[in-house]
């Protein structure tokens, strides 16, 4: 059977699944307090991937597609994984600021955010000591309003505390992993195991997910394409080297466009990558119309896409092609105190499904190296709280 690809699928890069089949890939979202998300990601051709994100308690289901740029010899047809995470961070904080302002009766005339995410990679994939890292994100919130500086500073501080994306960065999480090869469970003695029974996975269920309504304007679009340059830092194929010592830089600019609708532009500066625009909307309970994915759909898809890239890259570098691979990933977020003033994040639970014959040792190394080299798992196992500064009508307020 041929491997599906984005070139021939004819599907939008993102769409809402209005009438999902009774059994979604991976089964139902586990019952947990707060907001829970199940993200199922499968590999397509090359570095292309597609994800289905189910959000509870509201039951929204979104399908999203990702790719990589020239630096990983990708086709660059869809956003890179770290773009989804940056967009999720942007939209999460924008939404929380809007909700906090509405709760306090403060009128905003304009709201925008600039975000810089930096990551690192150092070591050898062949020796098995390659390790990804994450630095504290740098966030600049710009507000135009007649409200007082104290009111705006309080709103931004409350929004930062309540933002699930910020919880992932400021907390140290012990994420869990499981591996199934050809439907047989394998031991992962170097990584903690998820609690409870494993989810199911059937990739044919992806084929049943089709859009019933295609938006008149794309919810994800490429604004500028990266040039494939060989022989320069961050150029074509540079991220496939077996030995690495480099930094990555993702820059994004987000803005409020009306109601609870927000958009952001994300550019990969290092390595050399493209620029994509994302659209976001909120649920009805948060004042939105659900015309675009919610912030956490982008955020958790980014985590899953990034981890999947590491699996594919490692298999490529050690020259052990996989017959197919996918993950079922669970995330949960809730209030960490009775007042609901702080949001906490639960550990990310990742079940890896591999087809083919990688060998028992290679299979376990695959997941271990995936965890070590995934930039977003690096952020979650570290304490890298965002550095936030706020500007009101062009004047800088006290940093938080």
State yes or no: pLDDT of 1 exceeds 80: no
What average pLDDT does range 120-128 have in this prediction? Answer: 97
Is pLDDT at 146 greater than 60 in this prediction?
A: yes
Q: What is the pLDDT of residue 101?
A: 97
CA dihedral 274, 132, 300, 224 (to 10 degrees): 0
Residue with tokens 């994300």: 266
User: Can you give the pTM of this predicted structure?
Assistant: 0.95
Residue 214: which pLDDT band, with cuts at 50, 70 and 90? confident
**pLDDT (0 to 100) of residue 241:** 95
| Lowest-confidence segment of 286-300, 328-342, 381-395 by average pLDDT | 328-342
Residue 107 has pLDDT above 90, yes or no: yes
pLDDT value, residue 363:
80
Lowest mean pLDDT of 252-256, 345-349, 357-361, 367-371, name the range.
357-361
| pLDDT (tens digit per residue) in 296-326 | 999 999 999 999 999 999 999 999 888 899 9
pLDDT of residue 208: 78
pLDDT of the residue at 73: 95
In the chain, domain spans: 6-396
Cα–Cα distance for residue pair 293/340, rounded to 1 Å = 24
Would you place residue 14 in the very low, low, confident or very high pLDDT band (cuts 50, 70, 90)?
very high
| Burial of residue 110, with CB atoms counted within 10 A of its CB: 0-12 exposed, 13-18 middle, 19 or more buried | exposed
* Residue ranges with strand state E in 126-186: 131-134, 138-144, 176-181, 184-186
Helix, coil or strand: residue 205: helix
Q: What is the mean pLDDT of residues 139-149?
A: 98
Q: What is the DSSP string of 77-137?
A: SS--HHHHHHHHHHHHHHHHHHHHHHHTT---SEEEEEEEEEEEEEEETTTT--EEEEPPP
CA distances to 116, 164, 316, 382 from 167, rounded to whole Å, are 17, 5, 33, 12
| pLDDT for the residue numbered 139 | 99
- Read off the pLDDT of each residue in 263-275 and give the average, rounded to a whole number: 98
CB 264 within 8 A of CB 256: no
Q: What's the confidence (pLDDT) of residue 275?
A: 99
* Residues 68-82, mean pLDDT to the nearest whole number: 97
The alpha carbons of the chain give a radius of gyration, in whole angstroms, of 20
pLDDT band (50, 70, 90) for residue 105 = very high
Residue 215 or 119, more confident = 119
Residue 17 near residue 62 (C-beta atoms within 8 A): yes
What pLDDT band is residue 293 in, cutting at 50, 70 and 90? very high
Q: Is 361 exposed, middle or buried (0-12, 13-18, 19+ CB in 10 A)?
A: exposed
Give the model's pLDDT for residue 43: 96
Mean pLDDT of 184-210: 87
Mean pLDDT, residues 205-220 taken together: 84
Q: What percent of the chain has pLDDT over 90?
A: 73
Quick one: fold of 6-396? Answer: GMP Synthetase; Chain A, domain 3 (3.30.300)
Q: Going by C-beta distance under 8 Å and a sequence separation of 6 or more, which residues neighbour residue 102?
A: 287
Mean pLDDT of 259-276: 98
> What is the rounded average pLDDT for all residues in the chain?
91
Q: For residue 338, name the pLDDT band (cuts at 50, 70, 90).
A: low
């Amino acid at each position: 059977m041929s491997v599906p690809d984005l070139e021939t699928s004819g599907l939008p890069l993102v769409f809402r699944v209005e009438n999902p089949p009774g059994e979604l890939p991976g089964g139902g979202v586990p019952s947990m307090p707060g907001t829970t998300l199940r993200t199922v990601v499968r590999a397509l051709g090359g570095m292309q991937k597609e994800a289905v994100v189910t959000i509870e308690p509201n039951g929204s289901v979104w399908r999203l597609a990702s790719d990589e740029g020239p630096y990983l010899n990708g086709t660059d047809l869809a956003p890179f994984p770290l773009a989804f995470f940056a967009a999720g961070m942007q939209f999460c904080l924008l939404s929380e600021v809007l909700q906090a302002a509405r709760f306090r009766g403060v009128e905003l005339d304009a709201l925008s955010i600039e975000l810089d995410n930096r990551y690192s990679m150092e070591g050898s994939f062949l020796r098995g000591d390659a390790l990804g890292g994450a630095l504290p994100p740098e966030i600049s919130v710009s507000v135009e309003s007649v409200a007082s500086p104290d009111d705006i500073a309080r709103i931004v501080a409350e929004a930062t505390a309540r933002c699930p994306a910020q919880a992932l960065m400021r907390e140290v999480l012990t994420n869990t992993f499981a591996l199934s090869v050809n439907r047989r469970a394998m031991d992962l003695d170097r990584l903690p195991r998820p609690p409870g029974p494993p989810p199911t996975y059937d990739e044919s269920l992806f084929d049943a997910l089709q859009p019933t309504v295609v938006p008149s304007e794309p919810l994800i679009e490429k604004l500028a394409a990266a040039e494939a340059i060989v022989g320069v830092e961050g150029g074509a194929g540079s991220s496939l080297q077996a030995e690495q010592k480099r930094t990555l830089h993702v820059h994004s600019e987000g803005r409020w466009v009306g109601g609870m609708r927000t958009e952001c532009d994300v550019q990969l500066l290092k390595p050399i990558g493209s620029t994509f625009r994302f659209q976001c909307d909120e649920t009805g309970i948060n004042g939105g119309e659900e015309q675009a994915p919610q912030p956490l759909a982008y955020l958790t898809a980014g985590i899953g896409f990034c981890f999947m890239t590491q699996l594919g890259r490692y298999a490529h570098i050690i020259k052990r092609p996989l017959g197919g691979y996918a993950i079922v990933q669970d995330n949960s977020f809730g209030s960490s105190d009775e007042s609901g003033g702080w949001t906490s994040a639960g550990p990310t639970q990742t079940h890896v499904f591999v087809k083919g014959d990688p060998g028992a040792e290679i299979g376990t190394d695959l997941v271990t190296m995936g965890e070590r080299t995934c930039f977003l798992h690096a952020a979650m196992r570290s304490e890298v709280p965002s550095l936030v500064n706020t500007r009101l009508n062009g004047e800088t307020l006290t940093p938080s």
